[in-house]
Structure 1
């Protein structure tokens, strides 16, 4: 497990932009029951989370349509919460970072690490905006 002093600033990049910190099993379960569209970010300490995923996700919210609910778990820190979130993302294998869009609790769009790693925040944002335009 990663130290809190390392993880908290990385969590803050999302929570300060409207994301709910889903740091328990119960919070994830309640979040996934919400009606409408819900975005779940599996946050990570890796460079592609810092350089692509977090800034890309935040950029994606500057769109006419966006998810009603925003939540995040942190891989390697929120261990049990992340496990529950990843179960909802099946059949996709565990991936950190990753981004999942749900509509009324059903997974409708998924960005795995290989969609994030090596891609600019703008490319990640555009991918997500297209999904928002379709599902939100």
Structure 2
């Protein structure tokens, strides 16, 4: 079975051969992973970011890949899109153009849920995916 346990951030970084990022972009997660954090990872590690651009510092990622701190990475999100920076030159990096939600089924579901939420609002019903004031304060 899966051996999953909660650990502190630094311990996670020192024990992760593969780090796959799945967090929202908030003030507290913006540039959360920089060069110092990447240096904590074991030699030969891989980083995957399909969450949000801005969580991983792009310059730090570039340096980590060029200097062998990371063996490889795969990213689908950037701070500014479309991305045209120096990461495109690295052979140990897989880049996709923020296509994680581009399937027909996913787009259909997003459009349907948006329309249903708008109808709930117009009918005065409680929203199912309302962003609270507290959560909104964490946004960049």
TM-score, with length taken from structure 2:
0.26
Q: Greater strand percent: which structure?
A: 1
TM-score, with length taken from structure 1:
0.27
Bigger CA radius of gyration: 2
Q: Greater helix percent: which structure?
A: 1
